[in-house]
Amino acid sequence: MTAVVSTAFLSTAEIDELCAPLTQRHAQARHLCALLGVKDLPRRPGGLPLVGRRLVEGRLNGEHTPAAGFNWSR
């Protein structure tokens, strides 16, 4: 029996797969920010973007969570 262990954050291989032609960590972070629709992502000490698995799965599967805060439009 094979146990599937999923961590809370994406691994280096998964980030490399999402950002296929990009190899520089800063370029990968910019690409992921645009892909996920966020302003900024935290970084690991080596420069690798720290991306939550739940965020990626939700955004890529079409689940959109509205931004937190007040809705000033009427």
Task: Write out pLDDT tens, residues 26-67.
Answer: 999 999 999 888 899 999 998 999 999 988 888 888 876 656
Q: How far apart are CA 28 and CA 41, in angstroms?
A: 11
pLDDT of residue 58: 87
Q: Are 9 and 52 in contact (CB under 8 A)?
A: yes
For the entire predicted model, the pTM comes to 0.73
pLDDT of residue 42: 93
Q: Is residue 36 part of a domain?
A: yes
Query: In whole angstroms, what separates CA 71 from the centre of its chain?
Result: 25
74 lies in a domain?
no
Residue 20, domain member (yes or no) = yes
- Residue 68 within a domain: no
Q: Which domain holds residue 49?
A: 12-60
Give the C-alpha separation, 15 to 12, whole Å: 5
Residue 52 lies in a domain: yes
pLDDT of residue 57: 87
- Cα(15)–Cα(11) distance, integer angstroms: 6
Domain-embedded: residue 41 = yes
Q: Is residue 25 part of a domain?
A: yes
Provide the number of structural domains found in the chain.
Answer: 1
CA-based R_g, the chain, Å: 15
Q: Is 32 inside any structural domain?
A: yes
The three-class DSSP label of residue 27 is helix
